[in-house]
Amino acid sequence: MSTKKPPGDETMRGLPGFADRATDSFVGNTKVSLSDIKKAAEAAPEVSQGAWRERVFTPRAIMSRDEVKAGLQGSLRTCLASANHPRVAFDQVRDAWLPLLRQALEQAGGDGLDTWLLNLFSPPGRPPKQAFFTELSDHLGRMRAAKDLAVFEEEALKTVAAIDAALGNAPVKLSFKQMEKQLEGKLEVDELLKLRAGADDELTRRLGEIDGTMSQLRDQIRKMPGKQPDGMYANFVRLKAELRVLDAELKRRSGTLKPANSL
């Protein structure tokens, strides 16, 4: 079969890094047109054209305010219909919400993610001009701390209202500068939100899991003769970036994070 494109067909196929996008219901199309690229560049102009420049091809912030709100409310209703404990409800709702929260942050996150990462890696940093990222993390924390389902539902509805307000109040699109600079784009927006909003025990447990997995990968990589196993090495580097964020966030919470000039 000929692979020649018909005249006028601007579709790009087989872009790097899209193999794992098929399960993302909000970015499900693996065929990306030039109009998608232009839309992505407009939505995320802060992404640098460095080693991770393929990320600019990913359509970002593609859901409307109403779609985000409806998705959050629908997922909440579905989880509450079957959950019998607030922590069970939180785990289910958080996982269902993360793609939607990513959409909201990319549209209204402003400099919130930038300043959080700066405060972790170059403390003392500065306060954000748009605090939506940390406010959303705090909302998730209050949902997780709910003692019963009624309180959980109340906090969840407050979270939905806060997200809706952020999307409707002259939202400022998310800056990805520090994601690119500090982490080279190896962690996604929703992954970083989950870390920022995680409980101390969750982060500590995850820290141990990553340390054990990295040790196994390191041993396997050393035993591989010849060419570097690219997939295994990429996973190792990604886990290393996550470990760095986890360690700094736990130190920030405990008050042991040292100023940049003393590191």
Cβ atoms of residues 76 and 86 within 8 Å: no
User: H-helix or E-strand containing 108?
Assistant: helix 86-108
Q: pLDDT averaged over consecutive 10-residue blocks of the chain (263 residues)?
A: 46 35 36 44 42 46 91 97 95 96 95 95 91 97 97 98 95 92 90 96 94 85 68 85 95 89 55
Cβ atoms of residues 27 and 58 within 8 Å: yes
User: H-helix or E-strand containing 153?
Assistant: helix 149-168
Cβ atoms of residues 138 and 159 within 8 Å: no
Q: Identify the pLDDT of residue 15.
A: 32
User: Which residue matches tokens 């042991």?
Assistant: 256
Question: What are the angstrom distances between the C-alpha of 165 and each of 68, 94, 160, 171?
Answer: 12, 19, 9, 9
Q: Which residues of 153-167 are buried (b: 16+ CB within 10 A; e: fewer)?
A: bebbeebbebbbebb
CA distance 52 to 48: 8
Amino acid code (one letter) for 116: W
Six-digit token string for 208: 């141990």
